[in-house]
Chains A and B, each alone.
Chain A
Amino acid sequence: MLAIARQRMLGQSFKKILPAVSVLRSYSSAAKQITVREALNSALDEEMSADPKVFLMGEEVGEYQGAYKITKGLLEKYGPERVLDTPITEAGFTGIGVGAAYYGLKPVVEFMTFNFSMQAIDHIINSAAKSNYMSAGQISVPIVFRGPNGAAAGVGAQHSQCYAAWYASCPGLKVLSPYNSEDARGLLKAAIRDPDPVVFLENELLYGESFPVSDEVLDSSFCLPIGKAKIEREGKDVTITAFSKMVGYALKVSEMLERDGIYAEVINLRSIRPLDRSTINTSVRKTNRLITVEEGFPQHGVGAEICASVVEESFSYLDAPVERIAGADVPMPYAANLERMAVPQVEDIVRAAKRACYRSVPLAATA
């Protein structure tokens, strides 16, 4: 109990510190480039050194330096008691992590991909997400589940599913999905400091991409708020919401549309649960058109929720039906050309934007 109260106080004090920090460091960025991998690694490193209760658990996080090298160097720095290589027992070690979190530690559980979290989903939902509610606030679970999510390249049906919609439908969980290095650092730090279970959905293909970051981002107390989306690019004609890799696509699309005179506003959701409905609705009220982009399956997806939210709150502002771009409604095929067809491409989003802006009539699908 005292631990929980202490955690809440700490959380609040962080929030008080952050605005002060950002005021002090308000000079413009020196535009250092770091990859998402480095961002995540540095975030984990800093959080582990700041709080001895934080520990890592997962397959190959230690001696192998991380299946995708995210946890590189952490075993040497913090030792095997804090960086635990587990056997291949997702259900078991997730349960162990949740139990450790019940008693006040702060585990960061890595799934080699979120597909493997299905073996552990009972613990994520039933043991972690619902505990605070079932115990009437007595037991909070300050755990982070992280790992790559969504499609990679040519890895087949069982390695390519996107779990954003599944986890985001569960009350009690916070679901975050970063895009660039700044998101990765800020959101992971916020997730580790957060007293609730957080599902942190990274993307394998983004690990190697570099993004410019300001010095503020590199500061060890940098944190991004959970539940706030970011407007990556302002526009006035159509709103495009996306998360994770699709933000990159949306930004490319907005550049292409600009040549045709359509100014798209790109929203990087960052937080799937809680969804930043106010930012989305404010944007839709400004532009009057909405396209939601995601990589996962279309039915009951993130786009469906955003569409419903906008229809509920800003219906009279809509000038065109909401367009949902999602992955194909099939398990991910292996063949390279089929895989390309099963995932949204930049051209699909451009076409949807033009349809929403009534600049083109629906064309027959070209083979």
Chain B
Amino acid sequence: MCLQLTYVVKSGLVGFPLHQLNTKILPTLSATIPTPFPLVFSAPIVSFLSFIFSSPLSLPSSPPIFSPFPSSLPIRKKMATAFSPSKFAAQPFPLNTTSQNNPLTIPTIASPFLGSTRKLIRLCSSSNLNLRRRSGTVVAVSDVVKENKSKSTPNLLITKEEGLELYEDMVLGRAFEDMCAQMYYRGKMFGFVHLYNGQEAVSTGFIKLLKQQDSVVSTYRDHVHALSKGVSARAVMSELFGKTTGCCRGQGGSMHMFSREHNVLGGFAFIGEGIPVATGAAFTSKYKREVLKELDCDHVTLAFFGDGTCNNGQFFECLNMAALWKLPIVFVVENNLWAIGMSHLRATSDPQIYKKGPAFGMPGVHVDGMDVLKVREVAKEAIGRARRGEGPTLVECETYRFRGHSLADPDELRDPAEKAHYAARDPITALKKYLIENNLTSEADLKAIDKKIDEVVEEAVEFADESPVPPRSQLLENVFADPKGFGIGPDGRYRCEDPKFTEGTAQV
């Protein structure tokens, strides 16, 4: 039932500041290597931590090398996906038992997921060249992988349509956020605006796999999550301008994007606040299926949050309950290494967030969040798990925000070398390169998409500009779902039209 060939696309931690990492991470890594995999690497880990990884999307040609003995092991290690199965005995993962005998076999699974398993295997083999530089912690090698390696033509991870869809979504996110910055500096937008530049791969990689009824819960950095989920650019832009045509009629603002139609459940200003809400949405899905007997209800919820949130109590409480009740949720950590000006390494005792999943009985996966294809593969698996009712997953996406925390943040504390390093790994340029190199599309097509998105964003701005501001009567609306309770008086007219409205709202 469970996917056996699980993988860790272990891209290592950021190469900054590494000297701290080595001493901190080393003991913990070896301590958590699960016993079925006696492939504990101490030496390779040191070296892997000191490498900066290269372009993530290049396809390799070298065969995989498998050796169970660390001494003869080059850094280039077969990466298998392991949702740390040994961490929790409660979940029967056959891989535990088989691997002790022969780590090479992967039992065949009669699940619809097998199709993409091949892709995962290919991902492992294909990204082997890249992973050479960042060997993983847990390793499980499969015969299947070896077989597939014999095929000469690498099978691609996406089709042309999917590729263009991903590209368009990421470009929309980027163009929209850049326009937000412009509008903010022109005074059309105000308050707190948190931009998502650089992290588009995470949003696109995950949300494009969802159905309309699946829900997304996010934090204040939620413009692009709403856009990926399907909220129109016009609605989001109007909301940011505070106009009545916005997705929340101008009442929410940048940090509070809600959409019932597209199941975007917010948009929360307090970090950690969205996680219990997302867990509740997942609970509803399970409840509908089991108690209300809507047997085809397999809605999944995605909770997006950052690295700073992973120190917050609510996060741990929800990990516990989601695993306990096997809720269909995926906890997506957008680890961009900085919480305003607080480096993740300064704030966290164990910076490897994905390890916190197994502590609660769910798989913890680390993925390179600057690579949309890798994120998409991990997302497929995690969302698939949730849909099948196997429970939650914690996915840590290592990503980076190109701009400051918000438009009011001077962003002085981040090292320019770090920023440059990640700017070179821009997910959009990487996907572009992948699409062109694999002849999935042409430069002209992509430029056409760029142009189209520019027009969409400009039209959104025009629409927002021309939209009216909320009328005075809207001030008191929507406080309650039951309108008679508040905004509308007993005579059917708005209370704010009552002559005593300004009297300290005592009458309201």
Residue ranges of A at the interface with B (Cβ–Cβ < 8 Å): 59-60, 63-64, 67, 85-89, 91-92, 115-116, 118-119, 152-159, 298, 303, 323-331, 333-338, 341-342, 348, 351-352, 355, 362-365, 367
Contacts and interface: CB of A to CB of B under 8 A. Distances in A.
A89 B311 contact: yes
Query: Among A87, A92, A303, A364, which residue has the most Cβ atoms of chain B within 10 A?
Result: A87
Contacts of A153: 190-191
A303 B506 CA distance: 11
Nearest to B269: A158
Contacts of A352: 502-504
B506 A298 contact: yes
A303 B504 contact: yes
B150 interface: no
A158 B277 CA distance: 15
B347 A88 contact: yes
Nearest to B242: A335
Interface residue SS majority, chain B: loop
9 contacts: A88-B312, A88-B347, A119-B272, A154-B253, A334-B256, A335-B470, A348-B504, A351-B502, A367-B472
B192 A362 contact: no
A64 B253 contact: no
A338 B269 CA distance: 20
Nearest to A365: B501
Pairs of residues from A and B, 8 with the lowest C-beta to C-beta distance, nearest first: A154-B191, A334-B253, A64-B341, A335-B242, A335-B250, A154-B190, A324-B504, A158-B269
A87 B268 contact: no
A365 B347 contact: no
B255 A88 contact: no
Which bracket fits the contact residues of B? 35 or more
Nearest to B190: A154
B504 A64 contact: no
A298 to B, nearest CB: 5
B340 interface: yes
Nearest to B486: A329
B254 A156 contact: yes
Nearest to A158: B269
Contacts of B115: none
Contacts of B346: 85
Query: Among A119, A154, A156, A334, which residue has the most Cβ atoms of chain B within 10 A?
Result: A334
B475 A338 contact: yes
B347 A363 contact: no
A87 B499 contact: no
Contacts of B268: 158
Contacts of A60: 340-342
A365 B496 contact: yes
B353 to A, nearest CB: 12
B413 interface: yes
A158 B219 CA distance: 12
Contacts of B341: 60, 63-64
B270 to A, nearest CB: 6
Contact of A335 (B243, B413, B499, B506): B243
